[in-house]
Amino acid sequence: MAQPQLVVAGSINTDIIVHSARLPAAGETVLGGDWLMAGGGKGANQAVAAARAGANVHFVGRTGTDLFGRESLQRLKVEGIDTAHVVEDSQKKSGLAIIMVGPDGDNIISVAQGANAAVSPEDVDAAAGIIDAADVLIAQMEIPAETVYHAIRTVHEHGTKVLLNPAPAPGEPIPPEILGMIDYLVPNQVEALRLAGTGDFDSSVNALLERGVKHVIVTLGANGAAVFDSSGRHDVPAFRVNAVDAVGAGDAFCGVLACGVAEGLDLLDAVRMANAAAALSVTRPGAQPSMPARDEILALLNAQ
């Protein structure tokens, strides 16, 4: 089997994570416990997840030239990710996320986009050579929507499959033209409702399918995932684990799902593999540090 070829167009952050006995209310100060600084950003997290699952990953994005940016690039390179198309932007600071994690693994996050906000369509065009050879494009919404949509149009011309994780949910509706180019739309429940603009979950997903999306895979946290397509709804249960930190679980899911479909797995099998990766990720602190290796994923799959 040929190694899956993926391109990730997305964000690169440094995460500063504080664990707390509870999450604070607005205006409240809560004393925390342990803290961790680690690689983050949805794009970088998903790239690491896919690389550890066995894919050959190329990255399109931006960092600053500061210490955070240099360390972020080094972390990606250690994972074997091609960073030749990551621009080091001397005019911008690197992306930074402040994360508080409660005792049950739930979290609240504030992100300073920094150089991520400057990722441009021209950055995508500069990576045309790797896009031509890719099996799947992975994108999220932590870089400008204009750039995400340009990347989707570009890879669509080459027959590359598109996986879009619409997080955070865009403020404006995704253009119908773009929806028709998306092979795998992977929102959580809240994002699915916002994207469709309806108040009912099933109606929201069906509306997205009617607008041209080929498959909608809704992540449901501890309840696994639900796959929707022209054949109906298919539920894929989660793996039961003791959650420590949910930061990055959705990114583990997306990166491994992209790797699975690029390998040619049946979609439900790829989702089950992604569920296993997400389950393993919540048993460890941090985003990128928590992404499991392929042998760990397969061991959990085979143990069930």
Q: Which residue has the tokens 């092979």?
A: 183
| Amino acid found at 109 | I
Report helix, strand or coil for 102: coil
Is position 123 annotated as part of the catalytic site? no
Sequence-distant (6+) residues with CB within 8 A of 108 are 23, 99, 100
- Catalytic member of 89, 229, 251, 269: 251
Report helix, strand or coil for 224: coil
Identify whether the C-beta of residue 26 lies closer than 8 Å to the C-beta of residue 108: no
**Separation between Cα atoms, residue 90 and residue 217, nearest integer Å:** 38
CB-based burial, 34-50: b 16+ in 10 Å, e otherwise: eebebbbbbbbbbbbbb
Q: Token pair of 107, please? A: 């979290």
**Separation between Cα atoms, residue 208 and residue 218, nearest integer Å:** 12
Question: Residue 264 to residues 2, 56, 61, 257: CA-CA distances in angstroms?
Answer: 10, 15, 27, 11
Bridge partner list, 24: none
Catalytic residues: 251
